[in-house]
Structure 1
Amino acid sequence: MKFTFRDGIRSQLRPLPEVSTFAVDLTGKVVIVTGANIGLGYETAKHLASMKPAKLILACRNLETGNKAAADITRATGCSTVVCWQLDISDPKSVKAFVDKFELEGGGKLDILLENAGMNNFSWKRAVTGWEQTIATNHLGTAHLALRILPFLLKAEKPRLAIVASDVHYWVANPNEADTDGVLQKLNDQKQKGKFYAITNRYFVSKLLNVLYARALSSHLPPGTSLTVNAVNPGLCSSALLRDLNAVARIPMQVLSRTVARSTEVGSRVFVHAVVARELDGKTGEFLQSCKVDEPSDFVISERGASASKRLWTDTLAILSEFDDQIPATVNTYLK
């Protein structure tokens, strides 16, 4: 689907349903929301807490702000099962420690995982792994957590995994570059030439990777599973993500934000809908926005997009296997 800037504005102005219209009872359910200490993640967790989950885990890089968020949510909703666990999704050691903790204290199964943690850099930085920070966080870390915690998702009755993407994936410069050998390694080369590889295009690319990866993981789910994997776009929201922009990019985005941006509470409705709405039962490998299934970019649904998704799957597994020796066994045991 072609999605113009004008389409984006129309989408921003479209009213979204109140959470009460699709809320469910989460009694007995275990839920994880990453990046839940502020903004969209916090508002999402707050909505989910009101549905009485057995355990609601806020996975946050900063424990101090995460614990405060947990206390605030408990106070606002009366939900006494909200906890904060430390997670830096760009650090494989932190991902492994988080899942190890879940194995001991999570209750044996996971019903909902919303992977919301992300960043938007306009300058070149590297994560502890040596990978460029945006790709390390938005794609590799997101993929790592999804695979590491997959066994617990598959033990739940109707589990859902939602990966936060964006409508900016429609506007990636030269998207066909995603269908080339070693694209992740090229994205990690600061000297790589071309608009696709420019750091100013990096957030857009990372969100394209999120859509492609959600489709790839969904295609590898075992037959008969009730687990669904979808990519979800909250739209432009007045969130802390703007803090990562440089001054040149921040000013026009702040102007646009004041004009058409959703509040984080309104944007969070899209996330909550993605992980609880009954109408999405059985729908997997989809792109969700404005509380409905929508068509992703023309590139994603093209033959080259399908090829890029397969390449991304293979390359991602190879990289994650270097970080974590349990990844190959997990893939071979639980996926087709």
Structure 2
Amino acid sequence: MKKSFFDLVVDQWSTVPPVETADLSGKTVVVVGANVGIGFEAAKHFARMNPARLIIACRSESKGKAAQAEIQTVCGYKPCELWLLDLASFSSVEDFADKFQRECDRLDILVMNAGIATRVYQPTVDDWESTLQVNHLSTALLSLLLLPGMIDTGKKSGSASRLVIVSSDVHYWAVIKDEVKQASKPIAKLNSEDYRTPQAMGARYLDSKLLNVFFVRALQNRLLSTTPLTANAVNPGFCYSSLRREFYEKPLTNMIMCVWEKLMAWTSEQGSRQLVYAAIAERDKEDHMKGAFVSKAEVVEPSDFVLSEDGKRMQEAVWSETVEILTKEAPQLRSILQEHLAS
């Protein structure tokens, strides 16, 4: 599928489907990146569905507490829990997963929403470019570390758990150079000095959203058809968001962004409806949601590149390299993958 700027405009000017609802009584929901924007609005929607536990995972304790208080007050949902998590640190991800395994006996819905969009090269404490680590590597790590709990919950409940990775329709416009497509380790290539230039960093967010789509499809391909877990990637649309905070720092880009937002942007609440849809909708057509790319409350084709032979090869290279990187950081991951995924 190709998507032009005109297609984006049409999507943004069309009616946003209403929020999906369900009874989440007895269920556990985790929303990562839930203190602001679409993650916060999605957490409020889930809170109104009365889950047994709603955990909002945030990097900032002060912002997380403010979000927690508002969910408790506005939604009348007192059990909302705040857990701290920094996706720019592999050790923080492992600590979160360890805590979850100790303190939670089920996981029905995991929404991996946290992400960054920066045009400036900035390494993490683990020496990865920050967008690559936050948007892809750590997102994959937490998803895989919590995989056993999601699968076990699906088996006990008789209803597939849902893993939702927040991607974007900008993956349609990711342009991958041949040397990256053909690399045995494309992530390392994107992390190299050659790809720290302003031009490369200007496209990094698009690259990371493509990696999200690859990860979801590769993971779902390795789950047995009988495994009660559905992974999908979702496009929240172009919304008002603090994600683009860097664009507001310079007068020209600030002016351009303000015009675009006034003409096309959905509210954060409208964008959050897509996350909720990916998490709870189409329970009567579970197979339809497996490995899917969800946009505007329906399953749509990902980019032509994703579906191409080059895209499939890169997807497999990205998966293999991701597993190699993450098992070095978290050796316990190796046994999880061996037990739950087909080789």
- Tell me the distance in 2 between the aligned counterparts of 1:147 and 1:309: 17
- Tell me the distance in 1 between the aligned counterparts of 2:27 and 2:68: 17
3-state secondary structure, aligned to 1:114: strand
- The reply to whether residue 241 of structure 1 matches residue 252 of structure 2 is no
- Tell me the distance in 2 between the aligned counterparts of 1:163 and 1:98: 18
Aligned to 2:117: 120
1:321 aligned to 324, 327, 332, which one? 327
- The reply to whether residue 94 of structure 1 matches residue 92 of structure 2 is yes
What does the per-residue CA deviation read over 1:281-333, in whole Å, with 9 as the maximum and x for residues that have no partner?
23211111011101110000111111111111100001111211111111111
Aligned residues: 332
3-state secondary structure, aligned to 2:31: strand
Aligned to 2:106: 109
Please state how far the C-alpha of 1:240 moved relative to its aligned partner: 0.7
Aligned to 2:286: 281
Aligned to 1:13: 13
Q: Is the 8 A contact 1:238 1:264 kept in 2?
A: yes
Q: Is the 8 A contact 1:242 1:250 kept in 2?
A: no
- Tell me the distance in 2 between the aligned counterparts of 1:173 and 1:223: 32
Aligned to 2:215: 213
- Tell me the distance in 2 between the aligned counterparts of 1:193 and 1:131: 11
Shift in CA distance, 30/318, structure 1 to aligned 2, threshold 3 Å? same
- The reply to whether residue 60 of structure 1 matches residue 65 of structure 2 is no
Letter in 2 for 1:220: R
3-state secondary structure, aligned to 1:231: strand
Aligned to 1:299: 305
- Tell me the distance in 2 between the aligned counterparts of 1:51 and 1:260: 30
Q: Is the 8 A contact 2:218 2:315 kept in 1?
A: yes
Divergent runs of 4+, >6 A: none
3-state secondary structure, aligned to 1:124: coil
Shift in CA distance, 175/191, structure 1 to aligned 2, threshold 3 Å? closer
Q: Is the 8 A contact 2:121 2:196 kept in 1?
A: no
Q: Is the 8 A contact 1:144 1:320 kept in 2?
A: yes
Please state how far the C-alpha of 1:180 moved relative to its aligned partner: 2.5
Aligned to 2:273: 269
- Tell me the distance in 1 between the aligned counterparts of 2:333 and 2:176: 31
Structure 1's unaligned 5+ residue stretches are none
Aligned to 1:256: 260
- Tell me the distance in 2 between the aligned counterparts of 1:213 and 1:179: 18
3-state secondary structure, aligned to 1:256: helix
Letter in 1 for 2:213: V
Q: Is the 8 A contact 1:119 1:244 kept in 2?
A: no
Please state how far the C-alpha of 1:193 moved relative to its aligned partner: 8.6
Q: TM-score normalised to the size of structure 1?
A: 0.95
Letter in 2 for 1:240: S
- The reply to whether residue 143 of structure 1 matches residue 143 of structure 2 is no
3-state secondary structure, aligned to 1:121: coil
- The reply to whether residue 309 of structure 1 matches residue 307 of structure 2 is no
- Tell me the distance in 1 between the aligned counterparts of 2:316 and 2:258: 37
Q: CA RMSD, aligned part only?
A: 1.6
Aligned to 1:185: 188
